[in-house]
Amino acid sequence: MELSDKTARQIWDDVKANPNRARFGFGRKAVLVNVDLQKAYTSVGEFATAYETDPRQIEHVNQLAAGFRELGWPVVWTRVSYLESGEDAGAWGTRTDTPDSLQNIKYGSVRAEFDERCDIAGSDVVYTKRMPSPFFETPLQSLLVWHQVDTVVLTGGSTSGCIRAGAVDSLSRGYRTIVPEQCVADKHESYHFANLTDLMLKYADVVDVAEVLDFLDQRKGAGA
d(CA 132, CA 42): 17
Can you tell me the distance from the alpha carbon of 66 to that of 73, in angstroms, rounded to the nearest whole number?
A: 10
> Mean per-residue pLDDT for 106-130?
98
**Rg from Cα positions in the chain:** 17
* Residues classed as catalytic: 162
AA identity, residue 169: D
Backbone angles phi, psi at 48, to 5 degrees: -65, -20
Domains identified in the chain and CATH numbers: 30-221 (3.40.50.850)
Average confidence score pLDDT of the chain = 97
Q: What does the pLDDT look like over 74-95, one tens digit per residue?
A: 999 999 999 999 999 999 999 9
Q: Which residues contact 110 (CB under 8 A, 6 or more apart)?
A: 39
Q: How far apart are CA 134 and CA 139, in angstroms?
A: 9
pLDDT tens sequence across 143-188: 999 999 999 999 999 999 999 999 999 999 999 999 999 999 999 9
| Angle subtended at Cα 128 by Cα 189 and Cα 182, rounded to the nearest 5 degrees | 30
Number of helical (H) and strand (E) elements in the chain, helices listed first: 8, 7
